[in-house]
Every structure is written in structure tokens, then in C-alpha cells.
């Protein structure tokens, strides 16, 4: 179904006060907002900024959306060039205004923002939706109408009968051997499941719980598990962990890279897919990522032994067995078989996986054999992604003591300082300067690093910089989109996501973080009219998998960022 870009056109009549008394500013229906603001909410008692195109040095107005009255007047600084967008902009700062309500910013009748709110608890709704989006992406699971609403669907891909691909064959499990590997999340816009991407996703969610336990203990998500005795964030994380644990060959401890069709399914609903499913090649990166994730799970779920008896022990046994396989197979990298055409997630640099797995197993066991493999290199601590998980190990080390923990802290603070300095000097008030595939997840991961730094130091500059990362995701970016589906005035309607494309419903499933602008691929859609500038090069089209796909490892740092900001700010307001 072809969808139109979401936009709520409003007529705004503003009676200008003070020096502009008697003058009216009229914004017509359908006019596009050009001031880039957080389209949801700004927190009372915290910075509030938006991006205004142009040279600056003029007044801007904060307008009450209900009464049409100006409630705040400010002056824009001189504009600066934001090279990734090819745009000169100025930052409108209305931080001192604290009255709850719905507003928009305006300079004149053609330069205004979408409406937004100022309130006390803005991000909670985003956090809930981002967790529930993963629930909507469950494999082998029926989405019931009483929880899923209009996005209810039948189950697909039960994965109770999967085949060992010849690339993964062993004497104990030859090609064609079948076993059961159910549950887990669909990885992205496709219907396959990948260990390396699941590892960073589930780790990030477990770490979000570790940092913000009280917040997530009380956060309820509208899905069936919300009445049990586990926090809803962990309920959702467990659905994927339970799949991951099945991906280990019990005979030798090696871990399969992915569970997949030979080719991508079409743009159809899950229950219409009946292709055979395979587990593909064991390799060192997948096995070490698995070992790290299971060791982290063992530590976290020690606190839930009565609810999940034996789970933590099972995870630790699996983690140790995976590590032992990796010791025997230290440099096997994933090679896509000739008859497999789904996502690769290949990684030929394994230093980060070894570091992460060693950190997690040492923290879970105290065994000096793992400790001997840990050597913290501060220059390796970068914003994490599925192909570079070194920083996940560094974050975990912060819960320990000693020289390694101190080096990890120094490296993380140096990274957070660098990101915060870039944001403070940026014309667009953002830390991002390099726009690659999944650029929005980079922004969310930057925010996560800053929140970790804030926890380590209490220095508010990190928290405020993370707030600006949230503003960017929710609309204060060069595209003008709020990148979380179902939120804001202008958000993606045509995400590259099979259930959202095939369900016949105009609105996409809410709570997904769209990938965001980049120039990585310019040929997935007709690129006519697409910006040549990386910060603005985005298409709200189903075909634009390079800019408008969704992925589980993009939602996880969004959960950490939105939940963390909410938890930190609410704790200071009590």
C-alpha cells in the first residue's frame, strides 16, 4: 500500500506582543515546518533547544498552541554552517521557559516548527513503545488483538524444524540434520535471526536494566507478560535469549552464525512464509559474542533465581563451552555460502570479540584464566556497534575494581568528552559528524555512552548532551523527521519492514527507530530529489532499505537512551 508522509497541517494565528503588538502571523494549512525541534516533549527544568535555518541574529517566538499567544521571545545567535547538511542554521534556546503546555516555535509566517509539549515525563512513552516494537517483531509468535490492536497477526516461522546447512555440518550434526530453534526476534526488516546482532541488542537491554533497575522495575508494557513477576524489559529480552541459547551445537560448543532462509522472504506476512530454514556456519565472532551475552545473562539473572530457576547456571555453562570452542578455533571468520543470500554480518577483526567475552566471563566467574585475556586499550573504546563490541566489555568492567576498571573508565570518559565537545561546537547541536548506514543508531549509542559517563561522574554536561541526542532522534535533525514510528507530527510511514508493508494498515508498527540519513546506497530507490548531503539524505519509502529500515540493534540503544534520560531526570525531580 502506498502511504503518504505523515503531517498534521494546522492553522496557527499568533498575536504578537510587546514590540510587535497588533501584528498577526498566520501559518496556512499544509505548510511544512522548517524549524527542527523535538516533536514530542521537552523536560521541565532542562535544556530546550531547536534548530532554525538561516543566518540568525533575529528574534524567535515560543507560541502557545492553544491560545495563539507568544509566551517567550528570544534572540538567535549568528548562524553557522553544518557541512553534512550543507545548511547554515542557528540554535534557538528557550531553556528558561518552564510552563507546561503545547507550543511551537516561530520566526515568521513561513519559518516555524511542528508542535511539541513541555512536561515532566516525556520519554516514558517512547521507551514503552520501543520495547513493544520488539514484541511485535517476535518470531514464532501470534500477536493477539487485545494487545496488538490493529497490528495483530498470526504467527510465522516457528523454527521448530531447522536444517543444518552444509557450511555448518559436523559428524555429529551432518548437513540436513534437524533440530528446534524457536523464538527470538526478526532481526530487521527481514525474517531471519542473526547471533552477532542479537548479542549486542540483548546486552544493551540487560545493561539498561542494570543501570536503571528501579525505573524498569516499574515500567509496564502493554503485552501479555506484564502481569508476571519479571520486569517487562527483561521479559522481552528473555524471548530472544531463549532463542540464542539454542544456537549452540551441544556437541562441541560452537555457535551458528544465523538462522535463515536461503533467500529473503517476499514482502508478505510471517504466516505466509514456508521456506526451509537453516543454521549456517559456526565461526569465532558469533561464538564469542554468544559467550559474552550468556555470561552477562548469567550475572544479571542471578537476582531472579526464584522466577527462573537454573537459567543463570545454564547460561554460564553455555558461555564457558562457547569460549572453549573459540580457544580451539580462534580465527574462523564468517564466509557467506554461495547458496545463501540473506544478511552477512561478517566480521574479520576479532580483537573486540575476544576482549568482550573475556571481560564477561571473568566478571561472571572470577576465573583468572579469563582475566589473563583482558588488556584494556583506551583507544579501542569507541561508540559500539555489532561489528565493534570492544566498548561493551569496557562498560561491563566498570562494575569491577582494579586497574582494568580504571582504564576502562578513563577510556569511556575520554570518548564521552569527545562526543560532548563535538555536540557543543556543532551548528546542529549534535555529536554526529559521520553519517553511515544506521546513523540514527550511532546517535542513540552516543547517548548511551554519555549516560554511562554521567553515572560515573555526576557531571551534568553528559546528561544534557544525551538529551540533545534524544532531541535529534525526535526531530531536531536535518531531515525534519521524528525517526521513531508512531510519534511526532512527521515520522516515517513507509519503513522497510515486512509486517508493516504487508499488513494493509496505513500506519507502520509504532516504536521502531528508522535507520536514518546516509549516502551508503543511492540506488535502492529512485534517488531523484534525494539530498546529496549525508545528514539530509533520507527517503521515507519502503524500498529505501539503506535509510528507512529498522533493526533490533537500533531499538536497543533507543531503549537505553530514552529510559535512561527519563530515569535520571525523574530522580532529580523527586
**C-alpha span between 553 and 550 (Å, rounded):** 9
Bin 506: left if φ > 0, else alpha if -120 < ψ < 50, else beta.
Answer: alpha
CA 84 to chain centre: 22
From the DSSP assignment, how many helices (H) and strands (E) are in the chain?
16, 16
- 416 Cβ contact list (under 8 Å, min separation 6): 449, 450, 452, 453, 462
Contact 387, 347 (CB under 8 A): yes
Q: Which phi and psi angles does 398 have, rounded to 5°?
A: -60, -20
157, 165, 257, 496: the catalytic one is 496
3-state secondary structure 474-524: CCCCCCCCCCECCCCCCCCCCCECHHHHHCCCCCCCCCCECCCCCCCCCCC
- 152 CB-contact burial (10 Å; exposed 0-12 / middle 13-18 / buried 19+): middle
**C-alpha span between 155 and 186 (Å, rounded):** 12
Estimate the crossing angle of helix 284-300 against helix 390-397, to 10 degrees.
20
Which three three-digit cell numbers place residue 216? 524498569
Q: Which phi and psi angles does 556 have, rounded to 5°?
A: -65, -50
Residue environment code for 518-547, b if the CB has 16+ CB neighbours within 10 A, otherwise e: bbbeeebbeeeebbebbbbbbbbbbebbbb
Contact 257, 196 (CB under 8 A): yes
**C-alpha span between 553 and 198 (Å, rounded):** 7
Tell me if residue 540 is catalytic. Answer: yes
Tell me if residue 496 is catalytic. Answer: yes
Nearest to 570 by CA among 216, 232, 237: 216
Tell me if residue 190 is catalytic. Answer: yes
**C-alpha span between 262 and 191 (Å, rounded):** 11
**C-alpha span between 436 and 415 (Å, rounded):** 19
87, 159, 190, 347: the catalytic one is 190
Tell me if residue 442 is catalytic. Answer: no
- In this structure, how many other beta carbons lie within 10 angstroms of the beta carbon of residue 562? 29
The residues that are catalytic are: 190, 496, 540, 549
Amino acid at each position: 500500500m502506498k502511504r503518504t508522509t505523515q503531517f498534521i497541517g494546522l492553522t496557527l494565528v499568533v498575536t504578537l506582543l510587546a514590540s510587535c503588538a497588533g501584528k498577526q502571523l498566520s501559518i496556512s494549512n499544509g505548510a511544512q515546518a522548517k524549524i527542527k525541534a523535538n516533536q514530542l516533549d521537552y523536560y521541565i527544568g532542562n535544556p530546550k533547544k531547536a534548530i532554525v535555518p538561516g543566518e540568525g541574529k533575529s528574534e524567535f517566538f515560543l507560541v502557545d498552541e492553544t491560545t495563539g499567544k507568544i509566551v517567550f521571545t528570544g534572540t538567535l545567535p549568528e548562524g553557522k554552517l553544518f557541512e553534512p547538511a550543507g545548511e547554515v542554521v542557528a540554535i534557538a534556546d528557550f531553556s528558561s521557559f518552564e510552563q507546561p503546555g503545547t507550543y511551537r516555535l516561530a520566526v515568521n509566517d513561513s519559518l516555524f516548527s511542528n508542535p511539541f509539549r513541555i512536561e515532566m515525563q516525556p520519554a516514558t512513552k517512547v521507551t514503552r513503545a520501543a520495547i513493544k516494537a520488539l514484541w511485535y517483531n517476535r518470531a514464532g509468535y501470534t500477536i493477539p488483538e487485545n494487545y496488538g490492536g490493529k497490528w495483530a497477526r498470526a504467527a510465522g516461522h516457528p523454527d521448530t524444524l531447522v536444517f543444518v546447512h552444509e557450511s555448518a555440518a559436523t559428524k555429529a550434526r551432518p548437513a540436513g540434520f534437524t533440530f528446534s530453534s524457536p523464538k527470538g526476534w526478526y532481526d530487521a526488516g527481514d525474517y531471519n535471526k542473526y547471533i552477532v546482532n542479537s548479542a549486542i541488542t540483548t546486552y544493551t537491554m540487560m545493561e539498561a536494566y542494570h543501570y536503571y533497575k528501579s525505573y524498569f522495575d516499574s515500567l509496564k508494557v502493554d503485552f501479555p507478560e506484564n502481569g508476571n513477576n519479571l520486569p517487562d524489559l527483561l521479559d522481552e529480552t528473555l524471548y530472544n535469549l531463549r532463542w540464542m541459547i539454542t544456537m549452540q551445537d551441544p556437541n562441541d560448543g560452537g555457535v551458528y552464525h544465523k538462522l535463515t532462509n536461503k533467500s529473503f522472504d517476499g514482502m508478505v506476512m510471517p504466516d505466509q512464509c514456508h521456506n526451509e530454514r537453516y543454521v549456517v556456519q559456526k565461526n569465532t565472532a558469533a561464538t564469542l559474542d554468544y559467550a559474552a551475552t550468556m555470561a552477562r545473562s548469567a550475572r544479571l539473572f542471578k537476582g531472579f533465581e526464584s522466577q527462573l530457576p537454573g537459567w543463570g547456571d545454564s547460561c554460564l555453562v553455555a558461555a564457558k563451552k562457547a569460549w572453549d570452542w573459540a580457544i580451539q578455533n580462534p580465527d574462523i571468520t564468517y564466509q557467506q555460502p554461495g547458496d545463501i543470500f540473506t544478511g552477512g554480518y561478517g566480521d574479520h577483526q576479532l580483537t573486540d570479540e575476544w576482549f568482550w567475552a573475556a571481560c564477561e566471563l571473568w566478571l561472571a566467574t572470577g576465573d583468572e584464566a579469563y582475566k589473563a585475556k583482558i588488556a584494556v586499550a583506551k583507544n579501542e573504546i569507541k561508540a559500539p556497534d555489532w561489528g565493534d563490541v570492544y566498548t561493551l566489555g569496557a562498560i561491563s568492567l566498570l562494575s569491577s575494581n582494579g586497574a582494568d576498571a580504571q582504564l576502562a573508565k578513563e577510556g569511556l570518559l575520554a570518548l564521552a568528552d569527545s562526543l560532548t565537545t563535538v555536540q557543543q561546537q556543532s551548528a546542529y547541536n549534535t555529536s554526529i559528524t559521520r553519517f553511515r548506514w544506521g546513523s540514527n543508531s550511532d546517535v542513540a549509542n552516543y547517548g548511551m555512552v554519555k549516560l554511562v559517563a554521567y553515572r560515573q561522574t555526576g557531571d551534568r554536561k553528559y546528561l544534557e548532551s544525551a538529551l540533545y541526542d534524544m532531541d535529534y532522534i525526535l526531530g531536531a535533525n536535518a531531515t525534519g523527521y521524528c525517526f521513531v514510528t508512531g510519534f511526532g507530527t512527521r515520522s516515517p510511514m513507509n519503513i522497510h519492514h515486512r509486517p508493516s508493508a504487508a499488513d494493509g494498515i496505513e500506519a507502520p508498527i509504532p516504536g521502531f527507530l528508522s535507520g536514518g540519513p546516509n549516502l551508503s546506497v543511492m540506488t535502492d530507490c529512485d534517488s531523484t530529489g534525494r539530498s546529496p548531503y549525508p545528514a539530509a539524505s533520507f527517503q521515507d519509502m519502503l524500498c529505501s532499505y539503506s535509510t528507512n529500515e529498522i533493526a533490533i540493534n537500533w531499538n536497543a540503544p533507543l531503549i537505553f537512551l530514552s529510559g535512561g534520560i527519563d530515569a535520571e531526570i525523574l530522580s532529580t525531580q523527586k
